Structure 1
Amino acid sequence: MKKVKLALIMAIILVLAACSTEAPGTKKDGESKGGEGDYKIGFSISTLNNPFFVTLSEGAKAQAKEMGANLTVIDAQDDAAKQASDVEDLIQQGVDLILINPTDSSAVVAAVESANSAGIPVITVDRSSEGGDVVSHIASDNKAGGELAGQYLVDLVGEGAKVVELEGIAGSSAARDRGTGFNEIANGKLDIVAKQTANFNRAEGLTVMENILQANPDIKGVFTHNDEMALGALEAIEAAGKDVKVVGFDATDDAVKSVEAGKLAGTVAQKPELIGEKAVEAAVQSLKGETVETSIPVELELIKK
């Protein structure tokens, strides 16, 4: 009987020993690095004072939640120096990957290179970086969008008509590419009597348009590099009692409502929510070691009544 009891005790000891062979600090299944919930992604966004980027940010947050990733969004407030500082903060926090929506495509290069030096991969969103190593760039084809807007404006006002171009922030790839596309269509077909930046800002769009109207009272059309400037310009035009066709870019909620109301002539939709979703999706895929395309386009659409 004693031998049976001893054998039973020895068997219990062996079972307990087998259950405790896991090395100290070893994580259980689903806790190891590589589980999507462990990924820390930083997102430096140019501004959250613009409905387009608010929607883009919301799309990114929703996708991060769905994929179980931890996303930190920081507002650069359209300040290139602040964006550089924000990226440094994200590096110090030890994030696994940084999404950057540049305020300035040239100024952001130093921040991208800092992340590169720290071994942190970077993905650019909506606007590109002119330097540094970037895993992928997620954006609509802004040049194609500018061409789309240009052709639509030609159709609206007719060849030879006097038009105005309100430009975005100087140095941003979005402003450059949209302007390039628009001018490739407009040159030789439209008389561009004024080009001036309003920095993607509605209030500036209003002020700049007021000044342009005083010098050019007979303009027939306006192309703006984003909807905020378009809505500001439209306000100035309506106050002056003019009939001028305005085409914007981004298809923000306010702009689409204006199109439906017959005020804004049209806007190029580049689907910011989808851009945000694709950015986070690409980030997680990259962190998991999966192949990510170096350029991920998001389709465009012309919104008109």
Structure 2
Amino acid sequence: PAEAKGWKVLSVTSGGDAQKQINDINDFITQGVDAIVAVPDDSAGVCVAVQAANEAGIPFYTIDRSAVGCQVEMTVLADNHLGGNQSGNAVVAHLTKKYGEPKGTVLHVTGNLAQNVAQLRKGGFDEIINQHPNIEQITKEGSWKADKGVQIVRDVLSVQDVDAIYMHSDCVYSESTVQTLKELDQYAPRGEEGHIFIAAIDGCSGNLALIREGSTDQASGQPIPDFGSMVVVYIEKKLNGEAIEEGTVVQEGALWSPAQLKMTDVGFQLFLSTTDISIDNIDNPGLWGNQ
């Protein structure tokens, strides 16, 4: 989208190295770019670079996750709380169908709970589940590590039955979880007796394949392709001197619509809606896992 406007785009990758990211940003500042966009490797650590950009008069944007402890121009990210709500509602609907009322046992495998993203994915899910006192929830921290997720599933399911599993990232956990269920002889496809309902956030292609085959059931899909295109819209507004205001942002036909634009202590945040994915809409070409 940026190049289509005739803009020159300079891109580098930090490979997950927070210090390299800061150095790269400082290089861009020296070159006198018009705007900077980053996915922060370290949400607090990136503030050194944000401050330098601010001093140079260069607007700074983040996508996918926000800075912590400093203000950027805007962050474009998924509404992770909504994603947790969507997965929670799917689990409750399944348990209600299974037992005639919302009851049962749910294993909740989180990401790194020191991070805002995992806190929101947990909070959104808990908000739904906690409305139903007969649903027992077992919450374990998986720290975005597949092997840790496997160990949690193995440890919990070897001592008790669960009706559903909710995972903070299908990209990380879904394929290894299904494999672990098979190894524990606790796997049954959707619709068969003994099926464990699996819900997750992200909407990676690997999990879409698992939903198609009946191994998993629901994903709250992130609008990842739209992070970049939406940040370009707001960079253009900034460069043109247009003011932006809090409120609902709507785009006809967009999976992320409606989005919520809010002013926060770290600057404007544009929360794009997640998509509630099930077998019924799995082939929607707009889903990033299908692209």
Shift of 1:157: 2.9
Q: How does 1:9-158 map to 2 (within 5 A)?
A: 63-158=1-96
Shift of 1:149: 0.8
SS at match of 1:71: coil
AA partner of residue 219 (structure 2): T
Percent sequence identity is 26
TM normalised by structure 1 equals 0.70
SS at match of 1:75: coil
Q: Which of 160, 184, 195 lines up with 2:140 in the alignment?
A: 195
Shift of 1:188: 4.9
2:117 aligns to what? 174
Rate the CA distance shift 1:205–1:156 in 2: closer, same or farther, 3 A: same
How many residue pairs end up in the alignment? 241
1:253 aligns to what? 205
AA partner of residue 123 (structure 1): Y
Shift of 1:66: 1.6
CA separation in 2, counterparts of 1:82 and 1:106?
15
2:271 aligns to what? 297
Shift of 1:79: 4.3
Deviation per residue, 1:87-123 (Å, 9 max, x gap): 3343344332121223343343333233223322111
Shift of 1:81: 4.1
Q: Which of 253, 265, 278 lines up with 2:217 in the alignment?
A: 265
Counterpart contact for 2:140–2:152, Cα < 8 Å: no
Shift of 1:181: 0.7
SS at match of 1:195: strand
Give the aligned CA root-mean-square deviation in angstroms: 2.4
Counterpart contact for 2:170–2:200, Cα < 8 Å: yes
Shift of 1:255: 1.8
Q: How does 1:184-263 map to 2 (within 5 A)?
A: 184-189=127-132, 190-199=135-144, 201-214=145-158, 216-228=159-171, 229-242=173-186, 243-263=195-215
Q: Which runs of 5+ in 1 are unaligned?
A: 1-62
AA partner of residue 121 (structure 1): P
Counterpart contact for 2:113–2:141, Cα < 8 Å: no
Instruction: Out of 121-130 and 162-171, give the one that drifted further.
Output: 162-171
Higher helix share: 1
Shift of 1:151: 1.4
CA separation in 1, counterparts of 2:164 and 2:184?
14
